[in-house]
Chains A and B, each alone.
Chain A
């Protein structure tokens, strides 16, 4: 994955636990680069090793780390110029989720070797069915965090449940997403 992803992990750890912890985690993950270059491609193994090292060092389940990283990713990407791109891709959670593939494809103009996942949406029961397909394993908790993060960006409350898992033999991971404005009762 591109360095930007690893940079975001670095920013999250540094912000939440301090720079010295990041050095420890990096060492634990066997990463020797002093810093990540945003537009350089790194093996997926580096990203997985970092996430695992955070989980082990902070004594958290890996799913929690991925979820937290998903939420953080939206904040992180939202701060810089990428935030405008997300906002321009949709004016609420449902719209953005429907535009994810187009967005990643447009992002790929700048990140030519991007291997983004693919998302498909379908309105269902007053909510949204979100299907997630990726050649990378184990990232469903990341998606859960990302969608929560997207909700926060639009000031919406998001309920998301995984209803099918590729790990469990389903053709792809699938989620039911429901949103309502934040601060309103269910």
Chain B
């Protein structure tokens, strides 16, 4: 039996100790040891532990190793203790030590806390150091991940900058080439003009050549400026109410003669009612893209047709509009397609010389499509033709119209107290699309709308009794046009208001319409607000 002081000291300094008597039975343990092996008192040393190093299989073995660094294994577990055996008193000896830390998790699985380690015991600190190393490792990994990401972003930026640089150089080389070509012609012929022996016929031919090249040069410069503006992000949309089929009709009309001259057909097709929805977008930009797409299609088609198909898909207040330009031209290989949208691409320039155009059309159209909230898709087959599709998303304009719209004859007024309620309006319009839109807009505002699909049937209504509050007269119609129809209606004694709508802004036509008895003359497409202002006779409010 040891004295009390020694026992207290043992207890304080070595909370993981245990004492063995002469028979090899454990008789006492420290407080921390008791937490690890609560039932070991009264049990033989070798029933609880294996003495692993130095190996000992008997008490005599143990005694011969007193004072040496000793490793114990707790039977039936993975746990080990490190320490030493030491003589206590006659007959009794003790093991003093602490849990062995194998890796950073092992210590925390022991049923002890930090307070169970004596303050001088470095093994808990060792566990802590391993923890700290571990945390530091995570810290480094986080840091490396951060740096790697930064490096990746920077590399991406560098590559993009280089690409942009190369593209710019190409672009500049091409620009100077494209500008030089007409410039050379202009300067050359201007010089020839100064020659003496030039006769009148030659002179006018030279002047014509100079003018043509001047026009071309101007077109190129305009396009370059446009492209620069778009690329600099300085191009914004001018959003208003837009009816896409009206724009398509304008474009088709504009290019009609060119198609006729080439002996190909150019037709427009509207699929589904949704395509007729007025949307909020930028008519000028849509028109610009379409002029390029349809213009190219006509340019590259020598036989067959160019078909412009408008369709739309509505979901809630959004509409996805698709304008597909199908041609039966020469088509392109897959590799050519991505190059198409580069400024002055080979593909385009070789043709522009022959067919006109600036070679910048598609390069401008693509960013414009993006600006419109969409893109241009291209599908093409060599020798069969191509389809260029402008796809863009926009909001439906105004309160959603409910389609299908009224039967062409007499749509019922939709609103009893709209701005047009009680008004009778005759709409003379040959296009079914425009009939639908205009009549829907007016009947939604409360008007009773009569529709006449051509000039003659409109005139026939004025039998001396029929007296609408307003006649809306389309100017371009087959048979007798709107102007002639107006003259005839006036000659039948109608004194009410007639206003003309037209897609062509020619001042001669305007004068004719006003002379024929129209009160006003307005350009299509027309917005809802403008239409209503015209109908209530307040065109001053037009935007």
Chain A partners chain B: yes
* Residue pair B139, A37 in contact (C-beta under 8 Å): yes
Evaluate contact between A84 and B108: CB separation under 8 angstroms. yes
When distances are taken between beta carbons in the complex, the residues of chain A under 8 Å from B165 are none
Q: Say yes or no for A103: interface residue by CB 8 A criterion.
A: yes
Which residues of chain A come closer than 8 Å to B138, judged between CB atoms?
A: 80
- Which residues in window 131-148 of B have CB below 8 A to A? 131-136, 138-139, 143, 146
A92 shortest CB reach to chain B, Å: 11
| In the complex, per-residue mask of B139-177: 1 if CB is within 8 Å of any chain A CB, else 0 | 100010010001000000000000000000000000000
CB of A106 within 8 A of CB of B136, answer no
Is B119 at the interface (CB under 8 A from chain A)? yes
Question: Contact between B114 and A102 (Cβ–Cβ < 8 Å)?
Answer: yes
Complex Cα distance, B429 from A51, in Å, reads: 73
CA distance in complex: A7, B146 (Å): 14
B114 and A81: CB pair below 8 A?
no
A10 vs B133: C-alpha distance in the bound complex, in angstroms?
Answer: 21
State in angstroms the CA–CA spacing of A126 and B43 once bound together.
Answer: 41
Q: Is A182 engaged at the interface, CB distance under 8 Å to the other chain?
A: no
B129 touches A89 (CB 8 A): no
- The tally of CB-CB contacts under 8 A between chains A and B is 61
Asked, given contacts A81-B134, A88-B114, A89-B113, whether A35 binds B146 with beta carbons under 8 Å apart, the answer is yes
How far in angstroms is the closest Cβ of chain B from A15? 14
Contacts of B131 in A (CB 8 A): 81-82, 84-85, 110
A113 at the interface (CB under 8 A from B): no
Q: Distance (Å) between the CB of A109 and the closest chain B CB?
A: 4
What separation, in Å, do the CA atoms of A38 and B119 have in the docked complex?
26
Residue interface bits B88-108, CB-to-A below 8 A is 1, else 0: 000000000000000010011
Most chain-A CB neighbours within 10 Å: which of B107, B119, B131, B133? B131
Q: A102 to B113, Cβ gap below 8 A?
A: no
Q: How far is the CA of A106 from the CA of B126 in the complex (A)?
A: 9
Contacts of B114 in A (CB 8 A): 85, 88-89, 99, 102-103, 106
In the bound complex, what is the Cα–Cα distance between A84 and B134 (angstroms)?
A: 12
Let me know if A141 is at the binding interface, CB within 8 A.
no
B115 at the interface (CB under 8 A from A): yes
Contact A102 B119 (CB under 8 A): yes
* A contact residues around B242 at 8 Å (CB): none
Which residue of B124, B129, B135 is within 8 Å of A80 (Cβ)? B135
Q: How near does chain A come to B123, taking the closest CB pair, in angstroms?
A: 11
- Report how far A18 CA is from B133 CA in the complex, Å: 29
Give the docked Cα–Cα distance between A87 and B134 (Å). 17
Complex alpha-carbon distance, A111 and B132, angstroms: 9
Tell yes or no: A116 within 8 A of B by CB: no
Chain B residue nearest to A103 in the complex (CB)? B114
With known contacts A89-B114, A89-B115, A102-B115, A37–B143 Cβ distance under 8 A? yes
Tell whether B125 is near chain A: CB-to-CB under 8 Å.
yes
Among A34, A88, A103, chain B packs the most CB atoms within 10 A around the CB of A88
B133 partner residues in chain A, CB cutoff 8 A: 110
The answer on a CB contact under 8 Å between B135 and A91 is: no
A residues near B136, Cβ cutoff 8 Å? 38-39
A90 within 8 Å of B (CB atoms): yes
Q: Which of B115, B135, B150 contacts A81 (CB 8 A)?
A: B135
> Closest CB-CB distance, A110 to chain B, in whole Å?
3
Residue A107 interfacial (CB < 8 Å): yes
Q: In the complex, what distance in Å separates the CA atom of A59 from the CA atom of B133?
A: 38
Once bound together, how far apart are the Cα atoms of A78 and B516, in whole Å?
89
Interface membership of B460, Cβ < 8 A: no
Nearest to B110 among chain A residues (CB) is: A88
CA distance A102 to B133 in the complex (A): 20
Contacts of B132 in A (CB 8 A): 39, 81, 107, 109-111
- Chain A 67-93, CB within 8 Å of chain B: the 1/0 string? 000000000000011101101111100
Contacts of A82 in B (CB 8 A): 131, 135
A102-B116 Cα distance, complex, nearest whole Å: 12
In the docked arrangement, what's the CA distance between A103 and B370, Å?
A: 61
Judged by a CB distance under 8 angstroms, whether B128 is at the interface is yes
Determine if B113 and A91 form an interchain contact, defined as CB atoms under 8 angstroms apart. Answer: yes
Closest CB in chain A relative to B16 CB, distance in Å: 15
Residue-wise interface mask of A (4-30) relative to B, using a CB-CB cutoff of 8 A (1 in contact, 0 not): 000100000000000000000000000
List 6 A-B pairs, minimum CB-CB distance, nearest first. Answer: A110-B132, A38-B139, A81-B131, A109-B125, A84-B108, A88-B113
- 29 residue pairs A–B, Cβ–Cβ below 8 Å: A7-B139, A34-B146, A38-B136, A38-B139, A39-B136, A80-B135, A80-B138, A81-B104, A81-B131, A81-B132, A81-B135, A82-B135, A84-B131, A85-B128, A88-B113, A88-B114, A90-B115, A95-B115, A102-B114, A102-B115, A102-B119, A106-B114, A106-B125, A107-B132, A109-B129, A110-B129, A110-B131, A110-B132, A111-B132
Apart from A39-B132, A89-B114, what 15 extra A-B contacts exist at CB < 8 Å? A7-B139, A34-B146, A34-B150, A37-B139, A38-B135, A38-B136, A39-B136, A81-B135, A82-B131, A84-B131, A85-B128, A89-B115, A99-B115, A102-B115, A106-B125
